Amino acid sequence: MSRYTARGHSDTDYQILASIATTLKSSYVREGVDDPWSSSPFGWIRHLPPATKGSIGVQLVAGWCAAKGFDVVNAGDSEADKVIAGLRVEVKFSLRWENGTYLFQQIRDQRFDYGICLGVSPLEAYVWVIPKSVLLQRATPQHTGRGGRDTFWIRVNSHDPQPWLAEFGGPLSKAFEVLKNAKRK
């Protein structure tokens, strides 16, 4: 009969499973030198649930905007994430996918002036400050099922963004200028 630990599993059986898991890990998890996220200040975000990532994205944008001198307050309702420099904004956040793209999801026709899309790579970040009308016009329906035309997404290639995005930001310094010159709708 196997000897069980206080955690309820056999020392020997546990060791066998742990050894197999360690062997399999390299097939599923990229760590160390091959993983550019391992040394990134944003790497810890990768393994969090989507809603938590979205909340962190809002906090990153709000913190960056505040550090750049913009007034940042809560929107006071669920139709926008923040009010930045008097503009109601909806923040969308994406870590760069392995194929080099950002995917900004769950875009809805709500009461906001601009969508701020923050895309983070291991060692770089991009921001687009897009008027709501343009954002909704350029977005693709996210759910195509029964009546599923209320959420949209935008995919952006991090190395070759669509030309229409150029006027709305890209590098952080350009996004800052766009936000500084944005007009309230």
Question: Which pTM was predicted?
Answer: 0.81
User: Which residue segment(s) compose the domain that 66 sits in?
Assistant: 40-181
Q: Please name the residues in contact with 58: beta carbons below 8 A apart, sequence gap of 6 or more.
A: 81, 82, 91, 93
Are both 22 and 86 inside the same structural domain?
no
Kindly list the distances between the CA atom of residue 174 and the CA atoms of 11, 90, 133, 178, in Å, as whole numbers in the listed order: 57, 19, 20, 6
Q: What is the pLDDT of residue 1?
A: 39
Q: What is the pLDDT of residue 150?
A: 82
Q: What is the pLDDT of residue 4?
A: 41
Within a domain: 35: no
Q: Check which CATH number belongs to the domain holding 80 and give it.
A: 3.40.1350.10
Are both 88 and 157 inside the same structural domain?
yes
Low-confidence ranges of the chain (pLDDT < 50): 1-6
Q: What is the pLDDT of residue 8?
A: 53
Residue 152 pairs with which residues in a beta bridge? 107, 141
Q: What is the pLDDT of residue 24?
A: 76
Are both 18 and 51 inside the same structural domain?
no
Q: What is the pLDDT of residue 32?
A: 54
pLDDT digits (tens, 9 = 90+) for 68-112: 999 999 999 999 999 999 999 999 999 999 899 999 999 999 999
Are both 20 and 87 inside the same structural domain?
no
Query: What's the total number of domains in the chain?
Result: 2
